Structure 1
Amino acid sequence: MEIIILSKEKVKPSTPTPPHLRNHKLCLFDQLALGICITPIFFYKNNNNIVDNRLKKSLSETLTLFYPLAGELSSEDDSTFVKCNDNGVLYMEACVKDNVCMDEFIRDLDLSQLINFLPQHASMGSKMNYGQTLETLVSIQATRFNCGGVAIGGVLFHRLLDGDTMSKFFNTWAKIARGDFHNDDIASLDFTSSSLLFPPQNLPQEFLETNKMIFFYEEKSLVRRFVFNARAIEAIKMKVSSENVPNPSRVEALTTFIWKHLILATRTTKGVSSSPIMVAHVVNLRSRIDPKLLNAFGNLVFIATSEVIDMSDDDELDLPHLFGIVREMFENMNSENLKALQGDDALDCIVDMATQVGSLLPQLDTYKFSSWCNFGLYDVDFGWGKPIFIAPFIEPISSLNKQQIILVENGRNDGIEAWILRNNEEMLELEKDEEFLTYASSNPSVH
């Protein structure tokens, strides 16, 4: 597939950012976000859609509300501020050269082609370092298919925002574009509380390197998309549930199920019956802290981790047992435990956690999950109707992600998609796992 770039420009906020808002202070969790980008792609149905000036104009108005996204991050490694200087965001318009209809593309989805719908100049985050300067913190590409379908792809620097803020940004932009925005929708967006509650710290370089080693290394990997429909999810919830640990959520159940089968794949490829393992899950803290900060801008997430476990007994791979570990991991992310990250001892707490885990490398196998569920991403309607498909792009070849599992809602059948990045050998084993494939469909048609 070949993409033709039609235009490329910077879009700036419609109203200049006032002097008293020119410095946006980062919080501790912004600092902990590794130098990667969030890369969603939204696909919209054939409605003879026209990518017109409305999209740029509404983006400009949105940047006035989300003004840090139009700023610049200092090149200094220890910077704790974003310069809100209205530098702007990169905005590109493109079209598909080949006579490929969007329905045809997503019916026979080739994951390797998704990169075409993201701004090509922009780093996917695979080589980013702490403090590295980007041309823009956000880049957008609007791509038109000949049939009239449209794809909106974004590259958003993770240091400045998480999935919750990403969703608020796209939903606000879409509301403004379709003329359905009211000031009350965004009046409560909070740019200051997170840095007051979790102030930035002077992070030691040794900690930064250890943190990257735990979750990142450079290795050829494979990305696969698996879809769990609503019926499969209900069946998995029943399998993981027990009298002692009942009522799993959809995300808890899928995390448990996928984790088990990845452990089996790891054991097969390593040729061992046991090794130290750890499950981790990115957790949105907005509703878990006291006071709640439901409208906080930026990164208000933390990676919840289980204890390091050495599973030598097959009984320990029993789904209810694994679910108990997952449930405990989530429950530990409560307001009382999170107070340790608010006080003067926050840095010591984080460094100690990283040091303990880092000491087990490279033997430790980590399984890191994140979820885009319940963010309202399928409500991002620019006036063309809701998206028919959303892809969380993951670049396999140059990605520094050691492994990653992203859970995303499926817009058609109340299902959930699991986008999984693992090394080649483990992924090939997972694709042969008959029990796993009883519940998961491998890259099915979006239709």
Structure 2
Amino acid sequence: MPMEFIVETINKEIINPSSPTPLSHKNFQLSFLDQIVPPVNLPFIFWYPNYHSRVDVVAKIEARNQQLKKSLSETLTRFYPFAGRFSRNNDNLIECNNNDQGVVYIETRVDCLLKDILEQPGGADDESMRKLLPLQMRFSEEGQILLAQVNVFKCGGMAIGLSLSHKVADLFTLVLFIKTWAAMTKGILSHEVIPFPDLESISSSFPPLDLHVPEMDWTGSNEGVSRRIVFDSSKISMLKAEAASKEVPQPTRVEAVTALLWKSAMAAAASSRGGLKKQSALLQWVNLRKRMNPPMPEFSTGNLISCFAAKTSLDWETELQGLVKQLRKGMREFSGDFLPEIQESNINAVSAMHEYVNEVESLSKDDEVDVYNCSSWCRMEVYESADFGWGKPRWVSGLYKLITPPNSFLLMESTDGEGIEAWVYLSEPEMAFFECNRDLLAFASVNPSVKL
């Protein structure tokens, strides 16, 4: 049975930047790459157990809340577009100087212990988990960029829920924001530790276009189900060895895990159709910052992501080694063909992006092809970045189902930095076969407890 709990809102306010945004920055222009991102929010939750005595827990929670609000205000001076609002007259513009509308900040109390959820972390139904995120709130202001919700459990544990517009930020930008907010909460002001975000490089390199750009529809249909699949580091080493081949002698852990998830999902799809196999394609999403030539500034904010398609057609390609080869081939072709083209000129970038969007759309509409999506948060130091002064989060989760279609995988490092935790989203009939796949279960566990 899904776990049920009650979340009571006890405070709701707007957090403004600690310093007003200068008039010279009253408008923030989105980039061409932002234009093609759908109008959805990135919803993630950072979980923090209370390891201390419950004595004076109320006072400690209040002190933490005051710290969080003060540091959030200071952080917004650096990420000033997050405190703005989307323009009603221009979808590609954020208005940043209208009294700095600010960020919605919600405080709640949850009528259960944090460990009750972490013992069955994938067991809470989506509707319950949504209560911990600022997704259902409706305010008179429109066009909000960022919302935060701090949930306090009966034990004193906390879960910080964030909802950030994907139109303004990709996952890398979200992690940079979290790192800055956490460092400022701890009183770290050194620019070497928390460099200023580069807000302009992406929009200046890929300026917005005054034309209709086909918008990619990633939004979830809510018709599928999700499962949390965990790969321990020892099992990943074994998996990498099995996935190795002459052509790819040292697959990465992301390649090996992605290939196994893809293989297991294809088998589940075929089983749900009574054994009917189809050609398959996997869209692997990539952070472009270090792949550009020359590389974009390390702390560039906005959307600087794209994807390449790895495809199968022959039987041998559906085996683990064959799938890793296809993933490596897709990345090689992407780096050799697509990236140079979008960097040559705006005209080439527009043409390449249009072609890329059209290819993704045509793949998605092809009834003869099963299409999967995969995004990786590995090597982004998510856990290390989110230490607000009371330790790293014990778990980081997200309602990925809200922003993706079925047939999606999200990969994230485990707390130890060595294992991988994958959130898999499939149709319900396919998930019934997927979570029982013997090849998958030889290397992974389905929804184990999060250890406190």
- When normalised by structure 2's length, the TM-score is 0.88
CA distance in 1, matches of 2:220, 2:49: 38
- Maintained 8 Å contact 1:13/1:62: yes
Q: In structure 2, do the counterparts of structure 1 residues 137 and 413 end up closer, same or farther at CA, with 3 Å as the change threshold?
A: closer
Q: Where in structure 2 are the equivalents of 1:6-85 lying within 5 Å? A: 6-46=10-50, 47=52, 48=57, 49-50=60-61, 51-76=64-89, 79-85=91-97
Stretch deviating more after TM superposition (155-164 or 103-112)? 103-112
Offset at residue 52 of structure 1 (A): 2.6
SS at structure 1 position matched to 2:400: coil
Q: Does 1:371 align with 2:376?
A: yes
SS at structure 1 position matched to 2:350: helix
Which residue number in structure 2 is paired with residue 346 of structure 1?
Answer: 349
2:330 is matched by which residue type in structure 1?
Answer: M
Name the Cα RMSD after superposition: 2.1
- Maintained 8 Å contact 1:42/1:387: yes
Stretch deviating more after TM superposition (58-67 or 274-283)? 274-283
Percent identical across equivalent pairs? 32
- Maintained 8 Å contact 1:216/1:403: no
- Maintained 8 Å contact 2:259/2:323: yes
Which residue number in structure 2 is paired with residue 90 of structure 1?
Answer: 104
Consecutive unaligned residues of structure 2, counting only runs of 5 or more, are none
CA distance in 1, matches of 2:429, 2:196: 48
- Maintained 8 Å contact 2:317/2:326: no
Offset at residue 285 of structure 1 (A): 0.5
Q: In structure 2, do the counterparts of structure 1 residues 162 and 217 end up closer, same or farther at CA, with 3 Å as the change threshold?
A: closer
CA distance in 1, matches of 2:325, 2:211: 33
1:118 is matched by which residue type in structure 2?
Answer: L
1:180 is matched by which residue type in structure 2?
Answer: I
- Maintained 8 Å contact 1:69/1:138: yes
Offset at residue 108 of structure 1 (A): 2.4
Which residue number in structure 2 is paired with residue 116 of structure 1?
Answer: 131
Q: Does 1:420 align with 2:424?
A: yes
Offset at residue 353 of structure 1 (A): 2.9
Stretch deviating more after TM superposition (382-391 or 403-412)? 403-412
Q: In structure 2, do the counterparts of structure 1 residues 335 and 21 end up closer, same or farther at CA, with 3 Å as the change threshold?
A: farther
SS at structure 2 position matched to 1:439: coil
Offset at residue 165 of structure 1 (A): 0.8
SS at structure 1 position matched to 2:131: helix
Stretch deviating more after TM superposition (142-151 or 27-36)? 27-36
The superposition leaves residues 384-436 of structure 1 with CA deviations (integer Å, 9 ceiling, x where unpaired) of 1111111122346xx66233211111104721110011111111110121221
Stretch deviating more after TM superposition (103-112 or 318-327)? 103-112
CA distance in 1, matches of 2:219, 2:253: 27
CA distance in 2, matches of 1:357, 1:386: 37
Consecutive unaligned residues of structure 1, counting only runs of 5 or more, are 124-132
The superposition leaves residues 138-186 of structure 1 with CA deviations (integer Å, 9 ceiling, x where unpaired) of 1000011111111101011111001111001011101111112323444
SS at structure 1 position matched to 2:155: coil
CA distance in 2, matches of 1:372, 1:134: 30
Offset at residue 250 of structure 1 (A): 1.4
CA distance in 1, matches of 2:257, 2:322: 14
- When normalised by structure 1's length, the TM-score is 0.89
The superposition leaves residues 348-374 of structure 1 with CA deviations (integer Å, 9 ceiling, x where unpaired) of 222223334434514132110001111
2:267 is matched by which residue type in structure 1?
Answer: L
CA distance in 2, matches of 1:258, 1:9: 42
CA distance in 2, matches of 1:271, 1:218: 24
Q: In structure 2, do the counterparts of structure 1 residues 52 and 246 end up closer, same or farther at CA, with 3 Å as the change threshold?
A: same
CA distance in 2, matches of 1:87, 1:281: 36
Q: Where in structure 2 are the equivalents of 1:220-239 lying within 5 Å? A: 220-239=223-242
Stretch deviating more after TM superposition (329-338 or 105-114)? 329-338
Which residue number in structure 2 is paired with residue 263 of structure 1?
Answer: 266
Q: Where in structure 2 are the equivalents of 1:19-418 lying within 5 Å? A: 19-46=23-50, 47=52, 48=57, 49-50=60-61, 51-76=64-89, 79-85=91-97, 86-96=100-110, 98=111, 100-109=112-121, 110-112=123-125, 113-122=128-137, 134-204=142-212, 207-208=214-215, 211-212=216-217, 215-216=218-219, 218=221, 220-293=223-296, 294-306=298-310, 308-311=311-314, 313=315, 315-334=316-335, 337-342=338-343, 343=345, 344-360=347-363, 361-363=365-367, 364-379=369-384, 380-395=386-401, 401-412=405-416, 414-418=418-422
Offset at residue 55 of structure 1 (A): 0.9
CA distance in 1, matches of 2:417, 2:301: 31
Offset at residue 264 of structure 1 (A): 0.8
Offset at residue 111 of structure 1 (A): 3.4
The superposition leaves residues 253-290 of structure 1 with CA deviations (integer Å, 9 ceiling, x where unpaired) of 11111111111111111235432321111100110002
SS at structure 1 position matched to 2:247: coil
Which residue number in structure 2 is paired with residue 130 of structure 1?
Answer: none
- Maintained 8 Å contact 1:222/1:422: yes
1:151 is matched by which residue type in structure 2?
Answer: A
2:443 is matched by which residue type in structure 1?
Answer: Y
